[in-house]
Amino acid sequence: MVAVLEPEPQDRWVKTVIGTRCLTVQHISQYQQAVAWAVSMADQFDPPLHIVPFDVNDLVKLNRHRLERGLALLTPDEQHRLRQDVVTTCIAVMRDCDDPAVRSEAYDVLLKLGVVK
C-alpha cells in the first residue's frame, strides 16, 4: 500500500517513509517520481510507504532541538554575524520579493528581532 499526501504550494521537498524510517528526501520537483517509485515497490514492503511533501516550517519543527543546540554553541561574535545575516536577508526579501506572503514573513522576523517597530 502507498499513502500519498498531495503537495501544498509552500512545500519544497518530498520524503518517502516506510514505518518510522525516512527512505529518501527529494526536491518537490521529484514528487511524481517518488510516487511512481513507491507504487512500483509497494509489493516489496509489508508496512505501507508514505509520500509526504513538506515545507521549511515542517523542517524547523522536526529539527527544533537540534537547531537550538547548534545556536547555543555559537560564540557571541558568531551570533551577531548570524543576526546581521538574517536582518540583511529579510530586508532584501522585503525589497525584492514579488510574493506578499513572503514579504510579510520577512517583516514579522524583523519585528521579532526588534529591527522595526
Q: Are residues 47 and 17 in the same domain?
A: yes
Residue 117: band (very low, low, confident or very high) from pLDDT cuts 50, 70, 90:
confident
- With respect to residue 48, please indicate whether it lies within any of the assigned structural domains: yes
If asked whether residues 51 and 6 sit together in one domain, one would say yes
- Say yes or no: 46 and 88 in one domain: no
Per-residue pLDDT tens digits for 57-103: 898 888 899 989 999 999 999 999 999 999 999 999 999 999 998 99
Question: Is 50 found in the same domain as 7?
Answer: yes
pLDDT tens per residue, range 2-39: 999 999 999 999 999 998 899 999 999 999 999 999 99
Nearest Cα neighbor of 109 from 96, 90, 85 is 90
Are 51 and 15 members of one domain?
yes
Do 8 and 49 share a structural domain?
yes
Structure confidence at residue 45 as a pLDDT band (50, 70, 90): confident
Q: What is the pLDDT of residue 62?
A: 83
Report whether 103 contacts 93 (CB < 8 A).
yes
Tell me if 51 is assigned to some domain.
yes
Domain count, the chain: 2
| Same domain, yes or no: 47 and 9 | yes
For the cut 90, the answer to whether the pLDDT of residue 110 exceeds it is yes
Which residue range is the domain that position 108 belongs to?
Answer: 74-112
- Residue 68 within any structural domain of the chain: no
pLDDT tens, position by position, 70-81? 999 999 999 999
Contact between 94 and 107 under an 8 Å Cβ cutoff? The reply is: yes
Q: Do residues 7 and 51 both lie within one domain?
A: yes
